[in-house]
Amino acid sequence: MDELKLYTYIAVFGSFGLYFAIAWWARAGSTSDFYVAGGGITPIQNGMAIGADWMSAASFISMAGMIAFLGYGGSVFLMGWTGGYVLLAMLLAPYMRKHGKFTVPEFISDRYYSKTARIVAVVCLIVASITYIIGQMKGVGVAFSQFLELEYEHGLYAGMFVVWVYAVLGGMKGITYTQIAQYCVLIFAYTIPAVFISLQLTGNPIPQLGLGSTLADGSGVYLLDKLDAVVTDLGFKEYTTDNLGGTLNMFAYTMSLMIGTAGLPHVIMRFFTVPSVKAARSSAGYALVFIAILYTVAPAVGAMARLNLITTIEPAAGQHLVYDERPQWFKDWEHTGLLKFEDKNGDGKIQYSANAETNEMVKVDRDIMVLANPAIANLPNWVIALVAAGGLAAALSTAAGLLLAISSAVSHDLMKGVLTPDLSEKNELLAGRIVMTLSVGVAGWLGLNPPGFAAGTVALAFGLAASSLFPALMMGIFSKKMSGKAAVAGMCAGIGVTLLYVFQHKGIMFIQGTEFLGGLEPNWFLGISPNAFGAVGALVNFTVAFIVLKFTGPAPANIQQLVDNFRSPHGEVAAAHDH
């Protein structure tokens, strides 16, 4: 066994052993443990768990890959995802925690005094969560297949089994403590290679500063200037210009990601695991700090990975790497099918350019950039192994949180809340575990047949949450008079128009093609891409809800009093565990 494989097995299986041990130690004994970890998690612990839950395969694996290829345009992910946390912390989490219900559909059911609203919320939650989980499963498959030298399918099956064991066994309690361990693994795995590569390229050990520094070769050229020159030589757009098709599309994309973040049920659920409203606010603050560590490093990782990739394949202008002399990392990724070379002119050299007719790098999957980065930069084997463990930790932690959100939506909101109100706690727990098992199976199948690459799929999930759940929650908290009928009409209109637009434009597949970087599709509404359309869907949701409210009349007096109660700053309301 070679050294790299040994280190990879130690890092991956060592971290899995830790997750399993924690899941067994913290296994759930009650529905309160299963859904909200008994409400006894401290703000710092919850902040780390939110960080892991939040930093999915899309953040760890795909985001820097997107930034590497989109350049400045990729900043929408950073602005949208972190900005959404501020919205969540300021506008939603404290009030929902004060109301004291386990899940988003349960809050919507109480606030809109309607089982129909609850069912619509469950459907919206499941649609958004399933879409989001596809991205995680793709990340799991990519990471496992590469580092354990398995076929993509077998890598995915291994990941499904790992998630199933600790999510089904532990519920929210097991997942929370596992996610704290996963946060530690993924943050070290992300930052250590970035420090090494920043030192190599710029002599600065802080990647955030290295991105704006001059190169270490003494030329006095700034890293970003060098990258701009390298990519434009190959015919690509400048790295530091907007590659997302205009200001309006960037704004809509950022808004869609922001309000989608604030409406994502698996993140909102985390605020019910702490003992008080004050702790919910604190944990949101800690989460922002923990998330910022990775998110401020991501632009440096993306830029440095792109520079290293291009200078390996095209060492200098007019020079091309001889295919038979390609480095080992190139061969390793060719095995997965995520990197493909086609010798179009028969000269045995690799020509890489933006011209589709002469470009011989016919496939460079963006999802490989972070995982391949340490090997491209010739970092030590233990660093490459650490990245493998980190990528898996990121994908598995979010997959577990999403599965719990789906499971609680079906067992707690649909079965206990609507279909079988007299369900016992023991049977509800059993139903939750059965639903989670089925969800793992569905997620795995979608991972085997994914409709795009990880960050693209995830962006669609945010659009769906933005257009359906976020407006309903906002109106529920800040509009006392908003009625159940109006909210249901808004949710249906918002998610309906977003899905219609996405499928009318062939879903999100457009983002895989280079035509996406070359310009807009002519029939996009105001030039807004399908991934950014959630912001328009949210506007439709608000508009329809307020129009219907005009015709159907306001919410009853007791509901308006309920809103006053959970918006009042005086007095804590204990979590209403109505079991």
- Render pLDDT for 251-295 as a digit per residue (tens, 0 to 9): 888 898 899 888 777 777 777 777 777 888 888 888 888 888 888
Determine the distance from the C-alpha atom of residue 13 to the mean position of all C-alpha atoms in its chain, rounded to a whole number: 24
Q: Return d(Cα 411, Cα 28) in angstroms, integer.
A: 16
pLDDT at 34: 61
- Distances from the Cα of 407 to the Cα of 21, 77, 402, 428, angstroms: 23, 28, 8, 10
pLDDT at 579: 38
Mean pLDDT of all residues in the chain?
A: 79
64: its two tokens? 């820097």
Predicted confidence band of residue 194 (pLDDT cuts 50, 70, 90): very high
Pairing mode, if any, of strands 363-364 and 339-340?
antiparallel
Predicted confidence band of residue 540 (pLDDT cuts 50, 70, 90): very high
Q: Span 411-440, mean pLDDT?
A: 78
Q: Is pLDDT at 166 greater than 70 in this prediction?
A: no
CB 247 within 8 A of CB 256: no
Predicted confidence band of residue 206 (pLDDT cuts 50, 70, 90): very high
221 phi and psi, to 5 degrees? Answer: -85, 135
CB 266 within 8 A of CB 462: no
pLDDT at 455: 47
pLDDT at 575: 40
pLDDT at 1: 58
**Burial label, 332 (beta-carbon count in 10 A; 0-12, 13-18, 19+):** middle
Predicted confidence band of residue 536 (pLDDT cuts 50, 70, 90): very high
Q: Return d(Cα 75, Cα 533) in angstroms, integer.
A: 17
CB 208 within 8 A of CB 284: no
Least confident of 118-132, 133-147, 519-533, 548-562: 519-533
CB 508 within 8 A of CB 138: no
Q: Span 180-188, mean pLDDT?
A: 86
Helix (H) / strand (E) containing 198: helix 152-202
pLDDT at 548: 95
Q: Span 10-36, mean pLDDT?
A: 73
Helix (H) / strand (E) containing 339: strand 339-340
Read off the pLDDT of residues 36-64 as tens digits, 9 standing for 90 and up. Answer: 555 567 888 888 888 887 777 777 877 88
Read off the pLDDT of residues 339-355 as tens digits, 9 standing for 90 and up. Answer: 888 888 888 888 888 88
Q: Return d(Cα 151, Cα 423) in angstroms, integer.
A: 43
Rg of the chain (C-alpha set): 24
CB 333 within 8 A of CB 339: yes
CB 471 within 8 A of CB 542: yes
Q: Is pLDDT at 511 greater than 60 in this prediction?
A: no
124: its two tokens? 């919206």
Q: Is the overall model pTM greater than 0.95, yes or no?
A: no
Q: Return d(Cα 175, Cα 163) in angstroms, integer.
A: 10
CB 122 within 8 A of CB 414: yes
pLDDT at 493: 94
N- to C-terminal Cα distance for the chain? 54
517: its two tokens? 């970087």
Show the 3-state SS of 109-178: HHHCCCHHHHHHHHHHHHHHHHHHHHHHHHHHHHHHHHHCCCCHHHHHHHHHHHHHHHHHHHHHHHHHHH
Predicted confidence band of residue 551 (pLDDT cuts 50, 70, 90): very high
pLDDT at 266: 72
Predicted confidence band of residue 507 (pLDDT cuts 50, 70, 90): very low
CB 124 within 8 A of CB 464: yes
Beta bridge partners of 349: 322
363: its two tokens? 């496939």
pLDDT at 8: 83
Q: Which residue has the higher pLDDT, 373 or 513?
A: 373
Q: Return d(Cα 48, Cα 286) in angstroms, integer.
A: 7
Spatial CA neighbour of 51 closest among 390, 400, 397, 290: 290
pLDDT at 450: 63
Q: Which residue has the higher pLDDT, 219 or 548?
A: 548
Spatial CA neighbour of 118 closest among 488, 566, 504, 534: 488
CA torsion sign for 233, 239, 243, 247 is negative
DSSP 3-state of 355 = coil
Read off the pLDDT of residues 385-403 as tens digits, 9 standing for 90 and up. Answer: 888 888 877 777 777 777 7
Amino acid at residue number 574 = A
Predicted confidence band of residue 486 (pLDDT cuts 50, 70, 90): very high
Give the Cβ contact number of residue 538 at 10 Å.
27
Helix (H) / strand (E) containing 96: helix 93-99
Q: Return d(Cα 285, Cα 326) in angstroms, integer.
A: 46
Q: Span 369-397, mean pLDDT?
A: 84
Q: Is pLDDT at 96 greater than 70 in this prediction?
A: yes
Q: Is pLDDT at 539 greater than 90 in this prediction?
A: yes
Q: Span 81-109, mean pLDDT?
A: 80
542: its two tokens? 């608000």
Predicted confidence band of residue 545 (pLDDT cuts 50, 70, 90): very high
pLDDT at 400: 75
Q: Is pLDDT at 374 greater than 80 in this prediction?
A: yes
pLDDT at 398: 73
Q: Return d(Cα 528, Cα 525) in angstroms, integer.
A: 6
Q: Which of 8-17, 89-98, 232-241, 511-520 has the highest mean pLDDT?
A: 8-17
Spell out the residues 6+ positions from residue 226 whose beta carbon is closer than 8 angstroms to its own.
215, 307
Q: What is the DSSP letter of 222?
A: B
pLDDT at 494: 92
Beta bridge partners of 340: 363
Beta bridge partners of 78: none
DSSP 3-state of 340 = strand
pLDDT at 451: 57
Interior angle at CA 264, CA 491 and CA 566, nearest 5: 80
Architecture, CATH, for domain 27-567: Up-down Bundle (1.20)
Question: Residues, the chain, total?
Answer: 579
CB 439 within 8 A of CB 125: no
Q: Is pLDDT at 547 greater than 90 in this prediction?
A: yes
Amino acid at residue number 60 = F
pLDDT at 244: 65
